[in-house]
């Protein structure tokens, strides 16, 4: 064999070995040890109890009976859907139920917060608020890079104020410094591909402060103290952001606007609508604004973050819309609402602990309100829902629907440690499903109901058909082959799809339906799976 032939053979063998190693299933990390779960500190417990006290007082004031506590499996499903966009796998449910009841939920929440699925799902939700869902300007914007950067930082539990400052004041190329995509997404071709200060000002105030300061863009705000001068001064902080060969940098120049009456340009100096003493004296304009926005004494930053975190877990914010908090100090004599009281408590804890998002989720998830049932043996009224005396029903987002569907069709956990082929299939199937089902866009907490086309996608869609059919890779077939009895098969299907065990009536009904000798057991389980995936319960968080 010649040298060339020998060298070529080595390359081929090396390539095959490399491909084989990459395609082999990775070694799954040992499940989180209960001993690694942090014990709630005294401050966290005090914060949770303060929230509970305010809740109980509100219920007593309105003579409301609260719903009973929800079961552990139901709370685990809520946490999984809210923070990972999927449901617990049968494998995870087994781990969960192997623990003492007093330790299960703390373990499960910590397991979620340390899971890469959570970082990636939350990164996408944050991205929708700060850069939207559009593709943005060609070549100048990389949304996928931005979301990946966010996911990496959330996985490290980087303090949230650090992330926000990096988005507002970051410099460099949008490929090497992904945070700058927050700036480049607003680039306008008609302005030489330069960032748009108006859009940036609107995004910052809505996403990070929970204020619609951009409503004063053309005239003074009709219902708040914000004026057009306030908005223009805020936008002026981005007036020196420039896009060049080195990416986003700060240059010279002034921010100018066109006078609506005279049509002449006028220079606008940067300024903030309140708290001018919080502005640092050094740094670029964007540096100064970034510090001001995230300053511990800024009354809006922590409240806006707490309101959004509450909405992520509950499906709706304490104050709606989530980007429109009531201005502070407008009516000093007005009694604070329950929502304002709770936001004050959450925001204070968030500030005092370094803007730690994980801690914020731990606090909210430990409250009595989050662990209440959504059903009760009394008539549930609007007053019960306003006071959070029951857990509110919320329709699942498209990515939650498909995430839950794909996981429920697998006995094993689908996560970052799954086989690369499984992950690639999940990625493609998720994108295809959302295109067919419909994306909800930037408005994360839109309460619009489902549509007929969405129901048809679930009933007749290709993905549902592929993931429920009697095939070796699907959970329905696995259950059909391993369950010793029909009753056990029904129980396992319910745990996989709905995250709970069937009631006695449900068990009696479906075991009778499975007693069909004309078809194989796999075909019968296929029908059961399809039925459960198309149930109303599957498509709602409750």
* Interatomic CA distance for residues 64 and 67, integer angstroms: 10
Q: Which residues contact 150 (CB under 8 A, 6 or more apart)?
A: 123, 126, 127, 163
Could you tell me if 455 and 526 lie in one domain?
yes
Are 365 and 344 spatial neighbours (Cβ–Cβ below 8 Å)?
no
pLDDT digits (tens, 9 = 90+) for 263-278: 788 888 999 999 999 9
CA angle 163, 76, 158 (to 5 degrees): 15
* Residue 220 and residue 278 in one domain: yes
Share of the chain above pLDDT 90, in %: 65
Comparison of pLDDT for 419 and 242, the residue scoring more: 242
Least confident segment among 101-105, 123-127, 441-445? 441-445
> Is the confidence at residue 484, as pLDDT, over 80?
yes
C-alpha R_g of the chain: 26
- 3 located within any domain: no
Between 417 and 478, the higher pLDDT residue: 478
| Mean pLDDT value across residues 347-374 | 97
Average pLDDT value over all residues in the chain? 88
- Strand 255-258, strand 247-250: pairing: unpaired
- pLDDT given at position 310: 98
User: Would you say residue 51 lies in a domain?
Assistant: no
Higher pLDDT, 35 or 191: 191
The answer to whether the beta carbons of residues 174 and 145 sit under 8 Å apart is yes
Q: Predicted confidence band at 538 (pLDDT cuts at 50, 70, 90)?
A: very high
Residue 19 pLDDT exceeds 50: no
Which stretch of 98-102, 150-154, 217-221 has the lowest confidence by average pLDDT? Answer: 217-221
Whole-number pLDDT of residue 139: 85
Residue that finishes a domain, picked among 350, 371, 392 = 371
- Averaged pLDDT for residues 292-310: 97
Residue 311 CA to residue 444 CA, distance in Å, equals 9
Does residue 245 share a domain with residue 144?
yes
Q: Is the confidence at residue 155, as pLDDT, over 50? A: yes
Q: What is the pLDDT of residues 244-258, one digit of tens each?
A: 889 999 988 888 887
| Sign, CA torsion 451/455/458/460 | negative
Q: Helix or strand or coil: residue 540?
A: strand
pLDDT for 449: 66
Q: How far apart are the C-alpha atoms of 248 and 137, rounded to whole Å?
A: 14
Residue 16 confidence class, pLDDT cut points 50, 70, 90: very low
Whole-angstrom CA distances from 445 to 145, 313, 374 are 25, 11, 18
In a domain, 105, yes or no: no
Q: How confident is the model at residue 20 (pLDDT cuts 50, 70, 90)?
A: very low
Residue 84 lies in a domain: no
Q: What is the 3-state secondary structure (H, E, C) of 219-244?
A: CCCCCCCCCHHHHHHHHHHHCCEEEE
Closest C-alpha among 507, 485, 479 to residue 408: 479
Structure-token match 């306003």, residue found: 386
150 shares its domain with 247 = yes
262 & 142 share domain:
yes
Rounded CA gap, 85 and 399, in Å?
7
Tell whether 305 and 290 lie within a shared domain.
no
Task: Identify whether residues 311 and 289 lie together within a single domain.
Answer: no
State whether 134 and 280 are in the same domain.
yes
Backbone angles phi, psi at 370, to 5 degrees: -70, -30
For residue 447, give its domain range: 430-541
Answer whether 387's CB lies under 8 Å from 62's CB: yes
| Residue 192 φ/ψ, nearest 5 degrees | 70, 30
The pLDDT tens digits for 106-149 are: 999 999 999 999 999 999 999 999 999 888 888 899 999 999 99
Is the pLDDT at 468 greater than 90? The verdict is: no
CB-count burial class (<10 Å; 0-12, 13-18, 19+) for 40: middle
Residue 193 lies in a domain: yes
Q: What is the mean pLDDT of residues 169-181?
A: 95
- Structure token pair of residue 120: 């990636």
Interatomic CA distance for residues 247 and 187, integer angstroms = 12
pLDDT band at 18 (very low <50, low <70, confident <90, very high): very low
Residue 339 lies in a domain: yes
3-state class (DSSP) for residue 257: strand
Q: What is the distance, to the nearest Å, from the Cα of residue 366 to the centroid of all Cα atoms in its chain?
A: 18
Q: In the structure, what pLDDT confidence band is assigned to residue 533 with cuts at 50, 70 and 90?
A: very high
CA separation for the pair 460, 137 (Å, rounded):
36
Q: Is the pLDDT of residue 286 over 60?
A: yes
Selection from 253, 237, 249, 232 nearest residue 288 by Cα: 237
194 phi, psi to nearest 5 deg? -90, 150
Distance from C-alpha of 412 to C-alpha of 418, rounded to nearest angstrom: 9
- Verify that 154 and 245 share a domain, yes or no: yes
Best-predicted range by mean pLDDT among 29-43, 214-228, 332-346? 332-346
Same domain, 149 and 255: yes
Query: How many domains are contained in the chain?
Result: 3
How far, in Å, CA of 349 to CA of 303, rounded?
A: 10
Higher confidence at residue 444 or residue 491? 491
381/386 Cα distance (integer angstroms): 9
**Residue 284 domain-assigned?**
yes
> Average of pLDDT values for 45-67?
96
| Residues 337 and 441 both lie in one domain | no
Per-residue pLDDT tens over the stretch 508-531: 999 998 887 778 888 889 999 999
Sign of CA dihedral 397, 350, 49, 343: negative
**Tokens standing for residue 278:** 């919080």
- State the Cα–Cα distance between residues 124 and 371, nearest whole angstrom: 25
**Last residue within a domain, chosen from 294, 325, 360:** 294
Query: Does 463 lie in the same domain as 348?
Result: no
pLDDT digits 0-9 by tens, 380-438: 999 999 999 999 999 999 999 999 999 999 999 988 888 787 787 877 888 888 888 88
Give the pLDDT of residue 10.
57
> For residue 516, what is the DSSP state?
-
How do residues 21-34 score in pLDDT, each as one tens digit?
444 445 556 666 66
Answer yes or no: is 139 within a domain: yes
**Token couple for 306:** 């707490």
Question: 249, 266, 294: which is the final residue of a domain?
Answer: 294
């Amino acid at each position: 064999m010649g040298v060339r032939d020998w060298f070529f053979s080595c390359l081929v063998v090396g390539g095959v070995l490399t491909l084989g190693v990459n395609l082999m299933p990775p070694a799954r990390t040992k499940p989180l040890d209960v001993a690694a779960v942090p014990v709630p500190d005294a401050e966290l417990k005090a914060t949770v109890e303060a929230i509970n006290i305010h809740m109980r007082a509100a219920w007593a004031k309105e003579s409301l009976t609260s719903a009973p506590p929800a079961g552990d499996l139901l709370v685990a499903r809520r946490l999984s859907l809210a923070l990972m966009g999927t449901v617990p796998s049968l494998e995870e449910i087994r781990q969960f139920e192997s623990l003492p009841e007093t330790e299960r939920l703390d373990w499960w929440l910590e397991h979620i917060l340390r899971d890469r699925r959570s970082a990636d799902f939350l990164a996408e939700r944050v991205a929708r608020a700060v850069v939207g869902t559009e593709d943005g300007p060609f070549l100048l914007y990389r949304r996928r890079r931005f979301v990946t950067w966010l996911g990496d930082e959330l996985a490290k539990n980087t303090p949230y104020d650090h992330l926000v400052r990096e988005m507002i004041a970051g410099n460099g190329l949008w490929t090497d410094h992904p945070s700058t995509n927050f700036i480049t997404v607003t680039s306008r071709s008609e302005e030489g591909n330069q960032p748009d200060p108006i859009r940036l000002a609107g995004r910052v105030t809505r996403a990070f402060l929970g204020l619609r300061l951009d409503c004063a863009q053309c005239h003074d705000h009709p219902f708040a103290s914000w004026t057009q001068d306030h908005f223009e001064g805020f936008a002026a902080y981005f007036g020196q952001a420039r896009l060049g060969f080195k990416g986003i940098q700060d240059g010279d120049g002034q921010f100018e606007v066109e006078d609506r009456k005279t049509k002449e340009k006028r220079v606008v100096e940067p300024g903030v609508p309140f708290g001018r003493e919080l502005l640092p004296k050094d740094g670029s304009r964007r540096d100064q604004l970034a510090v001001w926005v995230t300053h511990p004494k800024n009354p809006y930053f922590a409240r806006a973050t707490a309101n959004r975190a509450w909405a992520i877990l509950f499906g709706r914010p304490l104050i709606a819309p989530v980007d429109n908090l009531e201005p502070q100090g407008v009516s000093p004599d007005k009694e604070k609402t329950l929502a304002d009281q709770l936001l004050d408590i959450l925001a204070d804890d968030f500030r005092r602990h370094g803007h730690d998002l994980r801690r914020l989720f731990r606090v909210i998830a430990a409250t009595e309100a989050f662990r209440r049932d959504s059903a009760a043996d009394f008539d549930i009224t609007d007053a019960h829902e306003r006071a959070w005396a029951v857990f509110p029903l919320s329709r699942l987002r498209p990515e939650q629907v498909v995430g839950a569907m794909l996981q429920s069709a697998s006995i094993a956990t689908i996560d970052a440690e799954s086989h690369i082929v499984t992950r690639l299939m999940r990625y493609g199937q998720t994108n295809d499903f959302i295109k067919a089902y419909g994306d909800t866009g930037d408005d994360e907490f839109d309460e619009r109901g489902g549509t007929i086309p969405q129901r048809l996608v679930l009933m007749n869609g290709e993905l549902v058909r592929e993931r429920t059919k009697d095939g070796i890779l699907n959970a329905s077939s696995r259950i059909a082959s391993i369950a010793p009895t029909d009753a056990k098969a029904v129980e396992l299907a319910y745990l996989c799809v709905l995250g709970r065990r069937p009631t006695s009536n449900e068990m009696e009904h479906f075991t009778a339906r499975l007693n069909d000798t004309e078809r194989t057991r796999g075909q019968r389980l296929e029908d059961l799976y399809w039925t459960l995936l198309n149930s109303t319960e599957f498509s709602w968080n409750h």
